Structure 1
Amino acid sequence: MSVKNLMVMLVTLVTATASQAATMRCAGGIIATGALQAEVLEQCGEPDSRRLTPRHIDPDGYPAEGSVTVEHWAYGPSNGMVRELRFIDGRLVHIDSSRR
């Protein structure tokens, strides 16, 4: 196998692995990265905790260019499992599960 073919296969594998959506099972169904906050609330209910990092505001009182609102939600512990969700501008971008 040539080096070029090997590199193409490696890039394809990495891209395919990175593009898989993370999911979380809730009482109302399964949510996945890409979901809106309203969808997560509908499926999973209110989180046990929330932490908000608002957009950066410039000295003129306007949101700074490129700034985003980041919100972290936590569900649990439920049977020792804590699920942490990260939203950017209201869209779920990351789900992390850990035992505590």
Structure 2
Amino acid sequence: MQRLWVLLSITLGAGVAQADDTMRCGSQLISTGDRAFEVEEKCGAPAFRDVIGYTLGPYERREMKIEEWVYGPNNGVNSILTFEGSRLRHIERKRQ
């Protein structure tokens, strides 16, 4: 019985963790892994865009730009999108 509860907790926890990996822009949906141009097509230009640094790609052969885009506020919440090498890696939401 305890094994069932552990399995159920892990399954439900994975669903909750997945929720921050998508964001709605009007009737469109963006998710981690999308390209920057796809996000801009669906959500429009961000209110704020900033290059925050650089990272090395696979096998440290290529330098990739890390960029943050801010959308909002929408109902008092800003959405902060982090791109690495033009791919959406993280979606964060913060109350104003």
Structure 1 length-normalised TM: 0.65
Going by fraction, where is helix more abundant, 1 or 2?
Answer: 2
| Partner of residue 43, structure 2 | 44
Matches for 1:1-100 after TM superposition, within 5 Å = 1=1, 3-20=2-19, 21-26=21-26, 29-52=28-51, 53-55=53-55, 65=60, 68-77=64-73, 80-100=76-96
Conserved 8 A contact 1:86-1:94: yes
SS at match of 1:96: strand
Structure 1 residue ranges without an equivalent (≥5): 57-62
Work out the number of aligned pairs and report it.
Answer: 92
Q: Which moved more, 1:41-50 or 1:69-78?
A: 69-78
Going by fraction, where is strand more abundant, 1 or 2?
Answer: 2
Aligned-pair RMSD on alpha carbons? 2.9
Structure 2 length-normalised TM: 0.67
Structure 2 residue ranges without an equivalent (≥5): none
